Structure 1
């Protein structure tokens, strides 16, 4: 009986056909072979439509080398494609539309604004959402600044901490504001003080050519002056059931308004950082348990709302009282935060679970959960 086949769908980063997570895919191919799952990597550019074949990237475990091989379409597709402004992304949208009948382990989520509105429909999740508005004019900025002394401006489709502006109302000057942020290139914008008129102008310019949110800022500055948050991963297991995989703390680089690792941040074990932040092991444990329950319920709810998911990362802010806020959700999460925090067991689990879930899907001949189609 042939082995079930899983195709990891990704996008090249550039015309040189470089892949961002090649070392992760190598590891998944090795782990897949141990459980009887044949895994290869491909992008929409590798699909030969008339041949109905894929010029796949395959890894030979014995020789430790990558090569190209023509392969038939896989039994299941694990979509790792993140939004990028390129022709490659347009190719992806066409691929998803053309091959919508295939078995995808996960479907794309909608943008941050739609996800926020979806969560806000349920009181269970509404209490964990920061106040958020879709930026349409300076009136939206004013409303949020009246509500919260700290406000974040962020793109509705941004990833990796790009394009985020942090605004803080200054106590000493009624109409003086401290702003800092990160450009789309991840370049840090040093803090500076501006007047309200200047702030309005900066935000208008910042939001040109895209859609942005203005969001309540949660106090997350550590005594060191750096910002922090928590990355939690929930995944489907080998029985097709949502399970908590792990949680890690992220501490931002100096002068950074975000905690993303790509932006120079570093990772810590969540329980260690939470104990320092909340002041006791007992309060840290309570926050971890609450976060875990929230994550599992949120994943099931979003899957019901948008279609099949096999994993979900939640970026959480936890204030000094231990209240949890969902800052962002990501259906295509990186998992290096666990490796970097020294939690190698959780890192391995994070790699293996999608493979075990794929085996379950194959054995059950089960189209993952609801097959609702979702527009990008």
Structure 2
């Protein structure tokens, strides 16, 4: 694998590029040989010529490619960055990059680029991307210049004092777009929908995790797989009040969930008790609970709470608790630098006292799964039958969803474990949060970002597949 350092040269001839003598030897090419130079999804054909070294100063590595400034402009390359390129000699291609774009939405209330609450997280992504030789930048739909195939995005630039400056620059359409639109209301806007559809039409551009998952759609897709049925709680689209009473009569307790909800918002738990119907839900960051005495009160109050949203009604489950608190297991599935799925992390999310919501955004706490598992005296987590079931479940989930919905690079599975040891798939998230990692396991968060960067390099053609065996395996991320 041969890399070239990219330099500019003052000439107005756009169809020529220049190599040092060492470059010609390394590429084993001939004078005026035709090559294609690619940057992201943009490309130009040039003839390669020897650089007149007597009139040009050579600095740094001597295997260098010199491009005219007009070619830089045509490819929409950022002139302020140090660039390198990967050579594919058989295909006569020189590929500059790789370029990774983070698709975001712009927050009008913020005055500091890149105008998003994700700024700290994107800075960490950008830092790791730089360490892995990836040019990454953030952009919103308004930053795309479709006719000229360029993006006026923002790149995180480290400063000597340790701070980070987000600087505006010009970039080609990237090799890979990582969809970081993090709320459903933004995703539903016409501008975002149109942008995502148009990006997916760009030849050579890879776009992963393009949208949020709909709970009902996800259930229907997964239930078509015979290997998934045992993991899925009984679920139905809520059409009328009788659906709720039918589930309550059959299971004793049920969950009512918005099909497009996130972070535990607007979920209602109902349970039949001798004095009526016990309820629990969360509104405006506060947990609400009580008892509705009869079916009339149940129907009246639910009508007020549910409004016009679409919901599913789901079988209530008798799950294990940790120190008397509700918990679930978050399994983070990600693709790696080989394009293979891995289990990047498995952690427990424990609800706060008297809460039914283990979500971190609802006050839950992330705890190492090994610690929770030890509390049940079930033995070693790594060798447990439940862990193997989670691996099998993850394999089934990602294969089934990708067959129906397209390319994903990461999925978050929320799993419950019953008191009899049965594994239940509660929910699948296509935009999993990185706030889920335990504070004493920061390496899991870092590795989850490295996996995304590695996968972007893989899609861009800048990394070789590793010699992994099997279609599915778990990363060894439990050692410090």
TM-based fold match above 0.5: yes
Q: Which range is displaced more, 133-142 or 289-298?
A: 289-298
Aligned to 1:16, which of 110, 122, 142? Answer: 110
Aligned to 1:137, which of 236, 240, 244? Answer: 240
Shift, 1:107, TM fit: 2.9
What CA distance in whole angstroms lies between the structure 2 residues aligned with 1:87 and 1:125?
A: 29
Higher-RCO chain (CA-CA 8 Å, sequence separation at least 6): 1
Shift, 1:40, TM fit: 0.7
What CA distance in whole angstroms lies between the structure 2 residues aligned with 1:295 and 1:144?
A: 28
Residue 433 of structure 2 corresponds to 334
Residue 257 of structure 1 corresponds to 356
Residue 369 of structure 1 corresponds to none
Closer/same/farther in 2, CA of residues 279 and 90 from structure 1, 3 Å limit? farther
Pick the structure with more helix per residue: 1
TM-align CA RMSD: 2.3
Residue 114 of structure 1 corresponds to 217
Aligned to 1:238, which of 337, 342, 362? Answer: 337
Residue 155 of structure 1 corresponds to 258
Shift, 1:283, TM fit: 7.2
Cα deviations by residue, 1:73-123 (Å, 9 ceiling, x for unpaired): 212101122333259833211211222213203332541101101111122
SS of alignment partner, residue 154 of structure 1: strand
Residue 353 of structure 1 corresponds to 451
**Kept in 1: contact 2:196–2:210 (CA 8 A):** no
Structure 1 segment 162-241 matched on structure 2, within 5 A? 162-170=265-273, 172-173=274-275, 176-183=276-283, 185-220=284-319, 222=321, 224-241=323-340
Aligned to 1:34, which of 126, 131, 145? Answer: 131
Shift, 1:14, TM fit: 5.2
Unaligned runs of at least 5 residues, structure 2: 1-84, 86-95, 464-480
Q: Which range is displaced more, 252-261 or 231-240?
A: 252-261
Unaligned runs of at least 5 residues, structure 1: 366-376
Aligned to 1:100, which of 200, 207, 214? Answer: 200
What CA distance in whole angstroms lies between the structure 1 residues aligned with 2:372 and 2:252?
A: 25
Aligned length: 360
TM-score (norm 1): 0.89
**Kept in 2: contact 1:105–1:358 (CA 8 A):** no
Shift, 1:306, TM fit: 1.0
**Kept in 2: contact 1:269–1:341 (CA 8 A):** no
TM-score (norm 2): 0.70
Pick the structure with more strand per residue: 2
Cα deviations by residue, 1:320-340 (Å, 9 ceiling, x for unpaired): 1221111111111112212x3
